[in-house]
Amino acid sequence: MRTLLTNGHVIDPANGVNRVADLHIADGKIERLDFEGSGRRVGGDDEIIDATGLLVCPGLIDMHVHLREPGQSAKETIATGTRAAAAGGFTSVVCMPNTAPPADNASTIAWIKERAAREAVVNVFPTGAITKGLAGEELTPIGAMYHAGIVALTDDGHCVQNHEVMRRALEYARMFGLPALDHCQDYNLVGKGVMHEGYWSAVLGLPGWPSAGEEAIVMRDILLAELCQTPIHCQHLSSAGSVRLVREARARGVPITAEVCPHHIALTDESLRGFDTNFKMNPPLRAERDVEALIAGVADGTITILCSDHAPHCDYEKEVEFDCAPFGIVGLETELGLFLDILVHKKRAIDAAKLVEMFTLNPARLLRLDRGTLSPGAPADITLIDASLEWTVDKAAFASQSRNTPFHGMTLRGRAVRTIVAGKTIWALQ
């Protein structure tokens, strides 16, 4: 099977390509790029896709996704979650281990990989828990999980509070070349907080969650990354203080990286004044100054990765008192549009090429994946993007099994229009 994507604007940060070209695919692999004037003759293709006016880039990677299986299939499944990923333009997702039971052993990792091989429409890369039962006390069998196929360690949804346990986990992770992804939350500082501690928590009478509850663990991680020389990736940064800490640490060569999610730059804590639980996040939506700092962190390269923290929940779980509702929203089908709309079009913090790099090259390098490139011989995972297309978010049309989004009805500019995995179109905008 041969496919030609013709006349698209190819952006491939791994190879420094940012120009109009024809992309040839053969047998599920990238064959070659033909640039204008190269003199290469086109012929013998089984399928020709006209990509005029579209960005053609390596398949996008979301390295922070909750697929909820095993054990929570009422919220999401590997099948529905990967269909949502495809609809969002993602050809690879990295799934978190806070399932039921947690992915804290080789057999559960093997189950996830086997299930994904049968039901997933995109690539699924599992992570393994740092501690057994996500309890923060006893290390998991890291070596066994590595050989079972994990790409990183994380207790996401939880945070290891014991610094000695975290240090030993990093030392073991270094032996296998695994990065640690950390959900930065100091339980003692956060307490029973359900929203950002500030003006609006006082007005609404809701327990506050101070920025220091995140920043204390970011500081801890910087110290341990420097001590152990093991890469630590700070998940879903939300505060200006966290951005400052990571910026200073990276300037002196500490192996620390960070990501941002779209809701933390699209919304503020004022959004909670209607007590809508779809605005309840972990970490919480913060103040405007934090939003500005996060966008500045993206612009100057402090924050290197974009992702969703896709966290599906059943409707009935969110339809309770604010304090009792679970944290999190779905994001796979809205994140690309939000990031394009905010970072590229409105704020002009980065250009489209930088956005593609943060969704492809950077996560692939951190996790040592053979993805995120259009090099000859690489898997033909490709995303086609119309960066100017205006569309309105409609949660009723989501491929995800859950609908917990605060962005329903919002008009965005830019979205994926075709998703290709191993040379085959698995989703296309109708």
Return the ∠ at Cα 82 (arms to 28 and 337), rounded to 5°.
95
**Residue 39 pLDDT level (bands cut at 50, 70, 90):** very low
Q: How far apart are CA 277 and CA 275, in angstroms?
A: 6
- Specify whether 83 is located in the same domain as 10: no
**Residue 1 pLDDT level (bands cut at 50, 70, 90):** confident
- Specify whether 46 is located in the same domain as 65: no
- Mean pLDDT for all residues in the chain: 96
Q: How far apart are CA 111 and CA 128, in angstroms?
A: 12
Q: For position 55, what pLDDT does the model report?
A: 98
Q: How far apart are CA 11 and CA 17, in angstroms?
A: 5
Q: Work out the percent of the chain whose per-residue pLDDT is above 90.
A: 97
Q: Dump pLDDT digits (tens) for 159-212.
A: 999 999 999 999 999 999 999 999 999 999 999 999 999 999 999 999 999 999
Looking at the predicted structure, is the pLDDT value of residue 40 above 80? no
Domain stops at, among 335, 367, 399: 367
- Specify whether 330 is located in the same domain as 415: no
- pTM for this prediction: 0.96
- Specify whether 91 is located in the same domain as 10: no
Q: Of 218, 88, 217, which is closest to residue 161 (Cα–Cα)?
A: 217
Q: How far apart are CA 99 and CA 75, in angstroms?
A: 11
Q: Dump pLDDT digits (tens) for 300-337.
A: 999 999 999 999 999 999 999 999 999 999 999 999 99
- Specify whether 66 is located in the same domain as 51: no
60 beta partners: 90
Q: What is the mean pLDDT of residues 2-27?
A: 97
**Residue 46 pLDDT level (bands cut at 50, 70, 90):** confident
Q: Does a structural domain hold residue 373?
A: no
Q: For position 45, what pLDDT does the model report?
A: 66
- Contact indicator for 236, 305 with CB cutoff of 8 Å: no
Looking at the predicted structure, is the pLDDT value of residue 38 above 70? no
Q: Dump pLDDT digits (tens) for 324-376.
A: 999 999 999 999 999 999 999 999 999 999 999 999 999 999 999 999 999 99
Top-confidence residue, 283 or 44: 283
Structural domain count, the chain: 2
- Specify whether 87 is located in the same domain as 185: yes
Q: For position 44, what pLDDT does the model report?
A: 66
- Specify whether 348 is located in the same domain as 416: no
- Specify whether 162 is located in the same domain as 210: yes
- Could you tell me the two tokens for 81? 């979650």
Q: Dump pLDDT digits (tens) for 399-418.
A: 999 999 999 999 999 999 99
Catalytic residue among 12, 62, 290, 309: 309
Q: Which residues constitute the domain of residue 413? A: 2-56+379-428
Q: Of 286, 370, 429, which is closest to residue 58 (Cα–Cα)?
A: 370
How do strand 180-182 and strand 153-154 relate by DSSP bridges? parallel
Q: Dump pLDDT digits (tens) for 244-265.
A: 999 999 999 999 999 999 999 9
Q: CB under 8 Å to 428, separation ≥6 — which residues?
A: 417, 418, 419
4 beta partners: 24, 48
Q: For position 41, what pLDDT does the model report?
A: 47
- Specify whether 74 is located in the same domain as 161: yes
Domain stops at, among 320, 342, 367: 367
Q: Is 309 a catalytic residue?
A: yes
